[in-house]
Structure formats: structure tokens, C-alpha cells
Amino acid sequence: MTATAIPHDYPVTEANCAVKEGLGIAKAEWYHGPIPRAELKDLMRRRDGPALVTTGLWLGGLLATGVSAYLLLGSWWSVPFFIVYGVLYGSSADARWHEMGHGTAFRTRWLNEVVYQLACFMLFREPTVWRWSHTRHHTDTIVVGCDPEIVAERPPTIPKMIANLLTLHLGYTLLKNICLHATGRLTVAEKTFIPEQEQWKVYLVARIWLVILAGVAIWSLAAWSIVPLMFVGLPTFYGGWLHGMFAITQHVGLAEDVVDHRLNTRTIYFNPIFRFSYLNMNYHIEHHMFPMVPYYNLPKLHERLKADMPRPYDGLWDAFQEIIPTLLRQCRDPEHYVVRELPPTARPYLQPQPLGAAMPAE
């Protein structure tokens, strides 16, 4: 199966979304793997216990490595503690804002919200902006001109992708947008997915965050020391490399403008440490198909749907062996992409249906 060649007009605009909606690609009915409603309902059940354990370990790890790094300041022994602190801050926080933003981690709503707000600040991801941005990402996953979270355009900009392994380009964009929002304005793309009644929250949070970040920067200048920034602000950059690698594996190099997550999303087997850091988001096809299933139930969902899924990748290296050559080829041939193969037990891909077209009978 090959996706229809459609111009790669990536800016998120109302006009682009209207075109894709007319083609049956935006705001579409997505394919879902076969699973009985009762079984899915059980998998969607949220519990506080698992999230309390993983969140406690995460926060405890931040505290332990942060205190150790501080006590060992001036010694090379502080370096490994800063490395781990940075990864927990700049990479593991990404999975936390994501899961808490879906509201699926804790059964208790306010616990989701508290951790969500904290993780958003750690990543410079404004909570209202990213709540609505991610909603659009799930509605129009890798739909060009509609999805604001496409990591690699075609042709890809390789230097930008490498820079984002340390959150350099993304971090600059996020900080620039915080400053923009503090003045009471939104970007063109944000106006397409943030409801008007929610926009005041964007402006308020941006102003609060700027005060906090300015306070840390002033503290560092007054002390003539980078140490305060090493604990707040800079970890978003020096600790973001693991998240950057994970993010590339999600959709990069796969099909655009399709309505079947098996075609544009990867599931990868990870070791327990990566799975803890990523909160099982390596089961990414399953997450996109059924985003209300909590992260601690995704392995069960994966086993249940395995016969309907393409082959999972066996770790990061297996995924990057496909991604890197694909990106290099897309620099010369933007129409190239990886076509995922389904097992004989799987149902066929769901083709987009233009508005007004009759759905094919199964």
C-alpha cells in the first residue's frame, strides 16, 4: 500500500486543515485494532497505585541525584549525578507531562494535574498550549498542515534534528513562544487549535514562568555561578538527549496523511530502564490507537493486539537502522518513506475516505 502523493505544506493553518479534511484525512475515522469493548474498558481502568510508584521513584531520583550533585560540587564526582539528574529532568519529564496530560496515569484527577504542571515547567512546554497541541496531534497524527507536532518534515533538516538531541532548536522556539505569550499573543498555528476561552491561561502561565526563570537567572548572576541554572533551566537542554532519541523513533520516516497508526507509528521493545523513563510510550502504535489506556496497561494491550500489528522493533538500534538511511534518502527524495508490512493475521489498512464518499463494506 502506498500513500497518495500530496504536497508537503507543513505550516498548520485553517486552510491546510480544510484541504485535508476534504480529502478525508483530517478529523478522520482512524483504524482501531480488534478488541472486545468489555476488555478495552478493563484496560482503560485507571489506578493511583502504579502511578504513585513510578512518580515517587522519578521524584525521589531527582531529589537524590540533585542533592548528591550539589554536595559534590567542585569535584568530578558531581558529573555523573548531574548527568542522571539531567536525564530525569529533561527526558523523563517528557513522558510525565504526556501521560498526565492525557489524564490516564492517576485515577485521582488532581494528582494528574499537579505532576502535569510540574513536568510542563521542566520542559518549557506551556500546559494549555501543549494540552491542545497534543489533542490535535492525536486527532490528525502526522497529517501535514494539521499536526503541530511533526518532528521531521520532508525533506528533513538534519542539523536541526541533531540540535534537538540537546533541545537546542526546540528549546529556543519554546522560550521564544513563552515570551510571545507573555505579551498576550499566540502564533498562527496556535490560533487554530487553542480555544479562545482558554487563551488567557496561556498568557498568565507564560508571565509566571518568565518571572521564575528570570529569578533563577538573576540568582546565578548575583552569585556569579551557573549552579542555580544547572538545577533549573539548563537540565531541559543538557538532559534532553534521551527524550530526543525517543521522539525520533515515534513517527519519523513513516507515512504521512494516512488514517491507520500501524502505517505512521512505531512500537519498539525497550529495556526496563528505558520503559521507566518513557512510561511505556515505546508501545506507541497501541497508545495512538487507544490513547485512554494508561501506560501501565500498554504491555497487555500490545500482547492482545500483536496479531494485528506490524513487527515491533527490537530496541533503539533496530529502529535507527531504518530511520537514519530513510532520512538521508528523504533529503534527496522527499516522497520516499517506509511502508510497514502487516502479518497475514492482520486486517488490511484503512484508506482515507474523502468527504461525501461511501465507506467500503468490510
Domain boundaries, the chain: 14-29+43-332
Cβ(202)–Cβ(126) under 8 Å?
Answer: yes
Structure letter (DSSP) for residue 267: B
Q: What is the pLDDT of residue 96?
A: 97
Residues of the chain with pLDDT under 50: 1-6, 356-362
Q: Which pLDDT belongs to residue 360? A: 41
Q: What does the DSSP 8-state code read for residue 295?
A: G
Backbone angles phi, psi at 268, to 5 degrees: -130, 140
The pLDDT value recorded for residue 217 is 96
Q: Is the dihedral of CA 104, 105, 108, 113 positive or negative?
A: negative
Sign, CA torsion 242/244/247/249:
negative
CA distances, 281 to each of 50, 96, 307 (Å): 15, 11, 19
Which three cell numbers mark 46? 485507571
Residue 9, pLDDT score: 84
- Measured at the CA of 25, the angle between CA 22 and CA 31, to 5 degrees, comes to 140
Rounded to 5, what percent of the chain is helix, strand, coil?
Answer: 60, 0, 40
What lies within 8 Å, CB to CB, of 343 at 6+ separation is: 307, 309, 310, 311
pLDDT confidence of residue 2: 40
**φ/ψ bin of 167: left (φ > 0), alpha (ψ from -120 to 50), beta (otherwise):** left
Q: What is the pLDDT of residue 3?
A: 43
Q: What is the largest CA-CA distance in the chain?
A: 70
Cα distances (Å, whole numbers) of residue 166 to 184, 237, 241, 260: 29, 5, 5, 31
Which pLDDT score, from 0 to 100, does residue 353 have? 65
